[in-house]
Amino acid sequence: MINEPHQRKWYESTVGETRHIHYAIDVWDGQWLLIGACSWANINWVHRHAELGIYIGDDEWRGQGAGLKAMLELHRIAFDELNMLTVRLEVFAINPAVGFYEKFGYKLVGEYRNAYYYGGEFCNSVLMDMTVDEWHDRYTKAQLEVSE
């Protein structure tokens, strides 16, 4: 179970850590609401790649554009500030988010078979990535400013 002592221990273990960067996803709805979290994990500063993690935990805000805005900002940071060459992700093959990631510009690069036990059965996971060149070809500065 996740509780305050566990969260505090986790947080303290991340202070000064350079392989992971965590962000909150919040929205203004008359007040600031925390609706999810996202991160760049397993950052390799030498080879310049990182792994995406994103989660919208509040069902009411799924499909409302907050995830897309977070993705745009995360990728702008990864490619334009952190100087990554490639970003990667792994997701259950049955997750509808696979289609979102493809639309966003990620390419399918592989699949792990029977990777995870979920919902009473083993399921595959897919591996996807995007390069800095693909990012810049797809998302110009003007497009990013419009999304804000």
Q: Distance (Å, rounded) from C-alpha 94 to C-alpha 12?
A: 34
Beta strands 49-56; 86-92: pairing state: parallel
Q: What is the pTM of this model?
A: 0.82
CATH number reported for the structural domain that contains residue 29 in this entry: 3.40.630.30
> Hey, is 35 helix, strand or coil?
strand
Count of domains for the chain:
1
Contact between residue 43 and residue 88 where contact means Cβ atoms under 8 Å apart: no
Q: Tell me: the pLDDT tens digits for 101-143? A: 999 999 999 999 999 998 899 999 999 999 999 999 998 765 5
Domain range for residue 115?
4-147
| CA neighbor of 43 nearest in space, from 73, 11, 70, 83 | 83
